[in-house]
Amino acid sequence: MNSQVIFHPSWSTTSFGGATDTSPMELSALGEHFDRCQGSRGRLFGLRCAAEAVHGFAVTRFVTTLVVVVGLFAAAACVLL
């Protein structure tokens, strides 16, 4: 018994047969939202992003990072003595 089931898309659009382009009012609202998001970043946003990138790098390589840090401390101790 072979039966074929054909699935049809079950979604609908809000254009109801009209143009699917964005309206000027939608673009304006999107621009205002983007400006608010850009403004909420603050002055130290770049620094925070860099810190998160370094943290992500160090966490995924914790043992290697720990060995490198201990090695740097040992090298500094040898130089100072």
Output the six-digit token pair for 20.
Answer: 């699917």
Residue 13 has pLDDT above 70, yes or no: no
pTM: 0.38
Q: Quote the pLDDT of residue 22.
A: 75
Answer whether 54's CB lies under 8 Å from 46's CB: no
Whole-angstrom distance, CA of residue 76 vs CA of residue 79: 5
Residues 54-69 pLDDT 10s: 998 888 888 888 899 9
Whole-angstrom distance, CA of residue 52 vs CA of residue 46: 10
